[in-house]
Amino acid sequence: MRRRGICLAAVLAAAVAAGCSSESSAERAGTGATRPAAASAPIASGSSGARAAAAGREIPAVLTVEHEVDVVAGHDGEVVELAADEGRNVEAGGLLARLDSRQVEVQLEQARADLKISEYNVKYNEAELHANQSRLERAQLMFNEGLGSKADLDTADFMAKGSTYDLESWKANVEKHRAEVRALELEMDKTRIRAPFGGVVSRRYVRQGDVVTKGTRCFRLSQLSPLLVEFQVPETDPRKPAAGQTVRGTLASDPNQSFEARVARVSPVVDAASDSYEVTATLVNPPADLKPGMAVRLSWSTQSSPKP
């Protein structure tokens, strides 16, 4: 009997332990079932952070200017003079370099001499026409009075008409030589490389003694102001830039150096490849050390702009 009691007590103890173990497992299982609900809070927080990050963006860009061109040679020839070097400020039409123009000069002198000969022949034929017209009038008068023959009258008429044709021919020759002179003067001017607008020589590609051909790059001419920045805005961006809005930016090499730019124009067309359009802004009172070609980053908010 004592052994049976001991066995019964052991069975009861095992049953109680099994019940406690089942309850603890159920609690753990219940706790595990509620974890996804608890983890949903960070997911919502992460989505909010993504929206906050999307509310602003940095756009890489490069500082530029309205006028910056490579000035090319307009004529073949050797560079015999450099009138401007890098860093030199020049006015519109200012001389940058001069090419060898001796051959053009010879041709121009010959054309001017031919023009002068043609002009002298015009004057001679004007005098000759006047004399032949006088002879024609006398022959006509004498023929009317019966003192001259019809042959004399015809001869005088022929001479007057011939002088008229000669005069017109020489006048046309004068115009031809004038055109030749003008063409050679243009060629002569092309041997002078000039600045198309006022600015600074930012780069020189040629040296004295170089032989260049028509179209060869010789100088790069830039305007240092006003400084511009051009950037792309996606078509899907909810904020639509308009003239007068302000954009803030920093130097890519020095984030501590910032500037402001005011939107000057917005392209009316969308680039199909990038699904974006171009915006041009003018820097407002930029620091003196900012120069064209510097890489910058623009802070562009995608939130809607307040209506004025």
Q: Going residue by residue through the chain, which has 308 residues, state the pLDDT in tens, using 9 for 90 and above.
A: 444 444 444 444 444 444 444 444 444 444 444 443 333 333 333 333 333 333 456 788 999 888 889 999 999 999 999 999 998 999 999 999 999 999 999 999 999 999 999 999 999 999 999 999 999 999 899 888 888 888 988 998 999 999 999 999 999 999 999 999 999 999 999 999 999 999 999 899 999 999 999 999 999 998 877 899 988 888 888 878 888 888 889 998 888 888 999 999 999 999 888 899 999 999 998 888 888 888 999 886 544 444 44
Contact 247, 265 (CB under 8 A): no
Domain endpoint, select from 147, 165, 190: 190
Give the integer Cα–Cα distance in Å for 54 and 303. Answer: 9
- Starting at the earlier edge strand, list the strands of the sheet with 89-90: 68-72, 217-222, 199-204, 89-90
In a domain, 21, yes or no: no
- Cα 267 to its chain centre, rounded Å, is 15
Q: How far apart are the first and last CA of the chain?
A: 100
Residue 232 shares a structural domain with residue 288: yes
Q: pLDDT at position 56, please?
A: 53
Domain endpoint, select from 190, 209, 235: 190
- Cα 171 to its chain centre, rounded Å, is 46
In a domain, 73, yes or no: no
Q: pLDDT at position 84, please?
A: 93
In a domain, 235, yes or no: yes
* Residue 276 DSSP class: E
Domain endpoint, select from 190, 215, 246: 190
Q: pLDDT at position 300, please?
A: 66
Closest CA to 228 of 112, 67, 97, 70: 67
In a domain, 229, yes or no: yes
In a domain, 174, yes or no: yes
In a domain, 158, yes or no: yes
- Find the CATH number of the domain harbouring 275: 2.40.30.170
Residue 105 shares a structural domain with residue 63: no
Residue 61 shares a structural domain with residue 123: no
Give the integer Cα–Cα distance in Å for 167 and 173. Answer: 10
DSSP annotation string for 198-250: SEEEEEE---TT-EE-TT-EEEEEE---SEEEEEEEETT-S----TT-EEEEE
Residue 178 shares a structural domain with residue 253: no
In a domain, 227, yes or no: yes
Q: pLDDT at position 187, please?
A: 95
Residue 61 shares a structural domain with residue 113: no
Helix or strand run (H / E) with residue 179? helix 150-190
Domain count, the chain: 2
Residue 174 shares a structural domain with residue 121: yes
Residue 246 shares a structural domain with residue 296: yes
Give the integer Cα–Cα distance in Å for 58 and 54. Answer: 10
Q: pLDDT at position 9, please?
A: 47
**Residue-range definition of the domain harbouring residue 139:** 101-190
In a domain, 278, yes or no: yes
Residue 63 shares a structural domain with residue 140: no
The one-letter amino acid code at 138 reads R
Residue 176 shares a structural domain with residue 234: no
